[in-house]
Every structure is written in C-alpha cells, then in structure tokens.
Structure 1
C-alpha cells in the first residue's frame, strides 16, 4: 500500500517548474504502472487508466508543475527537501499541488479493485502558465469523461467553482525621437500613464456566488532603452472574470481609451519540445450545491463545507469551456500556495487519500445521477 505522505515528500524533492516537468512525469509513470495502464500524453501529460466493467468515466486531475521557490533564503525549510516538521510537510508544491497528487494516487491504489467503470488519473504540464490548455489537449485524445475531480487545494472542503482569468493587453503607441528633443516625439509611456488610471476605474460586474470581478496591473514594459522617446508601451492587466463574461465583453470594459486593447497571446513549450499557442482567456465556472453530482460527492466525503476558490484551476477547461461536471477536493489551504514555507498538514494528506478512496469506490453510483453538461460557465 502506498503511503501518501512519503509519496508527497518524494514528489516535492523532484523539481518541476513549468516547462521542466519531465523528471516528475517519468517518476509518476513508473509509480502508476504498478497498478494501472499509463502513458505519456499530449504536451508531456501523464495519463493513467483503469477500467473495470461498465460504468461512468471519471478523471481525477492535477498538475505537475510548480512556480519557482523565489528567494530560497526566505524559507525556514529548504524548498525541495520534502521535510516534515511538527506534523507539517514543507516544500514547493506541498499545497499546489503535490500533496493532492500523492493522495489521489494512494487513494486509487487502495480502491483499484472497486472501480466500476473507467477511471483516469491525469497530470498535466504548464497549468501555472496557462490553466486548462493541456487538459483540453488530453481530452481531445482520450475523449470527454462524465466527471472531473480536481485535486487543487480546498482544505478538504468541496470546491464548486471560481472566477475565470483574462490577461488584457493595453498598448500605447507614440512616435520615437531623441530624448534630448522630446518635443519631436510622442512619448508612449506618458500616454499609457494618462490612460491607465481610466482603465482601472471601470466598473466591474459582481456575482452572488463568486464575488466581484477584479483587475490588477501585472506588468508595464517598453521595447526601448537609452536616450529614446519610446514609441510603444504595453501594460498587462490580470482580470478575474465572472460567468457570462466573454472576450468581447471583457474588451468592451476598456472602450473609449486611447489605447489598443486585446487579449494577450503567447507561445509555450513543453518539456517534450512541443510548442503550443495560448490565448490567455479562461472562463469562470460554478456548479450549484444542489446539483446531483455535487450532492453525491458531499455525501461520499462526509458532508464537508463548500468552497469557492480565489485562484483559477484547470476547471476553466473541463467546466468553463467543455461543460463537464467538475468539482474539487484536496489537502492544503490555497492562501499558502506560491509562498515561502509552503506547507500542508500530513494528516490532511492522509485524509484526502481516504476521501479519494471513498469517491472511487462509490463511482458506480454516478450511473443513477444525471451528469448534465453545462454549469454556470463563461
């Protein structure tokens, strides 16, 4: 039987920043091969499959990548030691989300003979860079499951949705000139600085479950340096969006500014060498607590409180784009993610493993529950 805490510590010791998850993928493939079929999927994802008889198709999902540790001197415990101190497992990814991956694997290993239907374990790359994109590619290959269970941290509560995310690019254009003769040019930086406060004063929508939409400037850049009046300046705004918001409605928020406005796009590269394009628009999603499959999970897990995440997850693809019934359950408090001294109680990892075991052993019950595609997505 797999010990979820020992496994989580091993996962933490394998560095896996976005785009460099290959060593962790290799380790997970070796681990999963002990009790299920497994392969390397699109863009370096790890896809395990276990089928027993007829029944629903369920995917337990997580991401292998982590953010960097930042200044390691700010940690009181080395970020990749996988050390346990006073009942807490420390390390980058302990909360987000190697503790959950270990718990999922241990829970499925314990329940493998009780699976009724088809069970996938899906571990993706580049979630921290562009949530949902790699998961979508995996589903293109294996088909859409009936239910997705996210392992993102919920503090062992039941996650039923969150706001979406869009990166909005505001571009100011000017005219270059020598900095000694600024009157001959049009300074794009100054133009952006005039317009940016107007952008940040725009009214944003509110949702009764997910709360208020927010926006935050995350970068300001210009391609020029030296004694040149810049002819271009770009700001990026992290917009947290609500159900019903579309690309057009988000961009319409900034109508009337003397700036070019668009959704940011970029290219990412997997550790396998595959490059892929990303548009940074990830819709919101939420399922009401009274939904049949949410009630099934609530009962199976012992009636935990419900939770709305403050950050974004791969649910933007499974629920927000594809409309697949989706919920989340995992160890760890989300506010500790990405921080120095990230940690999770070892008891919560063990309890999460037991929770996943219960969900897997009861997955046959889902055949009697309507699993409608939809939810309140973007």
Structure 2
C-alpha cells in the first residue's frame, strides 16, 4: 500500500515522511507508488506518467519556456541511520541530504503552483546511486524523450541551498606496466612491473592541477591515484602492474581533450580509458538560469563533482544543481539537513517558478 503523503503541507514534514520510506537503489517501488498516488490525487492540474519506478508530472499551460526539475528517489544502503530522528532545527537520517529534501521541495511545488510562470516538468527517478546504465533518466530518455525537453534543468541534489552551476567531468584510466617473472631469490633475473610504476607515481605527486574560471565559477581539477595492483605471489617478481587514476576535469574540456591530456601526462606508459562521463558548462547566460540565480539572491558556484546535470547538458539545455543539504554528507552515516535549507529552497524555487 502506498504511504500517504501531504504534498501541500510543510515541505520539512514531507521530507521526514519520504525519509521513513526505505528506497535503496533497486527497491524504489513503494516510494514511487506513494509519489504517484499523491500527485494523481493532490495535483490534478498535472499530467502524470510512470516509467518503471520513476514518476513524471508536468504542466501544459503553453508557456514560452519550460523548466525540468529532477530528483532521484533512491538512496545508498542503510547504515544504521533509519528511521528519521530530529534535533533542534535538523533532520537526521538516510536520504535527508541525498536527496529526499530536494524531492520534498519538488513535490511541494508540484502541488502548490498550479499556474507557474514557466511550464514545469517534474522527474522523480530511480537507480541514480548505482551503475550508470540502470539510471532511470537513461530509460526515460529512450522511452519518453519529450518529458526531458526544456529550456533549463534544475537538479535538486544537495548544494547547501546555493546554485551550483554545471559540473566537472570525470575519467578513470588504467596505467599498465609489464615485466618479467623471476623468483625473488634471484630477482635480478626478472623485471619488476610494480617498480616500473615509480615514474608514474612521481608524476602524480608532482602534478599541478588547473583551476579554471567559467562564467565566474571556479572549477578546481584533480588527478589522483585511486588503486594499484600487481603480482601473483609473495616470492615472484611481478610481471604486470596496473595503476588506476581518476581525473576530474573542468567543463571547458571535453572527454577527447581530457584523454589527450592524460596521455601526455603519462607519455611512455600503456594507458587505457576505463570510465568516462563528460562535464557540463554552467550555462548561466540562459534567461531561465539567470532568473533562478536572481531568485536565489547569491553568487552561483562551480559544482565540484559529477551529477546528472551532465545528462541534461548533453540534451542541449543548461543545467544547475540547487537543493537543501551539504553534499559532503551524502553517503555518510551522519547525513542530516537543516530545516532552514529545505524552507529556503522551497521559497526560492517558488519565487523563480512564479
């Protein structure tokens, strides 16, 4: 049975209700059923659709512009941080930050703004916290592409209730070395593949990352070793070693440029790209984005990390992050969100959409 949700009430209380519906990735049916039922009964002005465990709703008022608002319903696994608990002015628990506070704001706006100044599409999707090919946005893009069309996307991921513009791209590479096996008692007869990575590690230690200013937002790049492996036995000189490196790059570079840069940094090594997601430019010059920044009343900042704004940017629209909570608390046992963040985000977005 769906859980009854009060969309028109206090978005803080709505956040609490959503948090107490467990929705670990792959198990979002109950929360999706609850969201769908609430939208169909409490927001009759919206067209509502279902895609797997994603719920979509939109106005069709014929406005000259459309804003797409997106939030994922799933969470990482429970870590002794359910049910919700409260302290003075703070909600604690799994999903309070990532990202049921943002979902609550979206649901509240969906029910309480029957005639916004922009047409609005609300997308509540599944499986964001796991492998990218299961992300509900990908299924929606394939099956219901017109539901993701708009002039601005607002992803309500946690951003400390500040507009975070665009996002970094991310790339992982494998730096591979080979050698020749030998017994460690006669190590001079072999070639140690792990030792051969010493130059690559020295390069990483000395690497100076760029800081890039785009539309007044400062993106700080990074290059870090995240894993190293090699060897087959404690008494054998290893004949293969692999160093995994993660690169976070500013959105003024595309994937091809980022890869070319890494191949230059690790010239002479065998380099293979193992994972890549492009970034997203801020897009703050778009009229709707400028309106949101004005409503927020503060200077936007760069998103240091990757979010689904990149998926919307790939569809040709500017995209920003704007939601309650500190993103550094996401995926931690200590997740908590100030109720003031939820209230502020609801007020700013209501002003913007109105």
Structure 2 length-normalised TM: 0.81
Structure showing greater relative contact order (alpha-carbon pairs closer than 8 Å, 6 or more residues apart): 1
Is the partner of 2:165 in helix, strand or coil?
Answer: strand
Deviation at 1:344, TM superposition (A): 0.7
Residues 165, 284 of structure 1: 8 Å contact kept: no
Per-residue deviation, residues 269-289 of structure 1 (Å, max 9, x unmatched): xxxxxxxxxxx222242124x
| Counterpart residue number, 1:60 | 69
Alpha-carbon distance in structure 2 between the residues aligned to 1:259 and 1:40: 48
- Give 1:220-231 correspondences, 5 Å limit: 220-222=228-230, 224=232, 227-231=235-239
Measured at CA, do residues 246 and 113 of structure 1 come closer, stay the same or move farther in structure 2, by a change above 3 Å?
closer
Correspondence for 2:327: 334
Structural mapping, 1:300-319, within 5 Å: 301=295, 303-319=297-313
When structure 1 is superposed on structure 2, of 97-106 and 335-344 the one drifting more is 335-344
Provide the residue aligned with 1:374 in structure 2: none
Match for 2:281 among 279, 285, 306? 285
Q: Distance in 1 between matches of 2:136 and 2:189?
A: 48
Contact 1:162 1:210 survives alignment (8 Å): no
Distance 1:157 1:241 in 2: 22
3-state SS, counterpart of residue 195 of structure 1 = helix
Which ranges of structure 2 fall in alignment gaps of 5 or more residues? 1-7
Partner of 2:347: 354
Match of 2:122 in 1: 120
Distance 1:240 1:353, change over 3 A: same
CA contact (8 A) 2:167 2:251 kept: no
CA-based RMSD: 3.0
Q: Which residue of 2 aligns with 1:297?
A: 292
> After superposition, where does 1:1-378 map in structure 2 within 5 Å?
1-34=8-41, 35=43, 36-41=46-51, 44=52, 46-55=54-63, 56-68=65-77, 72=79, 78-114=80-116, 117=119, 119-127=121-129, 129-130=131-132, 134-140=136-142, 141-143=144-146, 144-179=149-184, 181-208=186-213, 209-222=217-230, 224=232, 227-253=235-261, 254-255=263-264, 256-265=266-275, 280-288=276-284, 290-299=285-294, 301=295, 303-319=297-313, 321-360=314-353, 362=354
Structure 1: which 5+ runs fail to align?
73-77, 266-279, 363-378
Report if aligned partners of 1:173, 1:259 keep a CA contact under 8 Å in 2.
no
Q: Distance in 2 between matches of 1:235 and 1:192?
A: 8
Distance of 2:118 and 2:292 partners within structure 1 = 16
Give secondary structure in 1 for the equivalent of 2:180.
Answer: coil
Contact 1:64 1:123 in 2 (8 A): yes
Instruction: Rate the CA distance shift 1:315–1:108 in 2: closer, same or farther, 3 A.
Output: same
Aligned length in residues: 335
TM-score by length of 1: 0.76
Q: Would the alpha carbon gap of residues 260 and 47 (structure 1) be closer, same or farther in structure 2, given more than 3 Å must change?
A: farther
Shift of 1:259: 2.6
Deviation at 1:314, TM superposition (A): 0.7
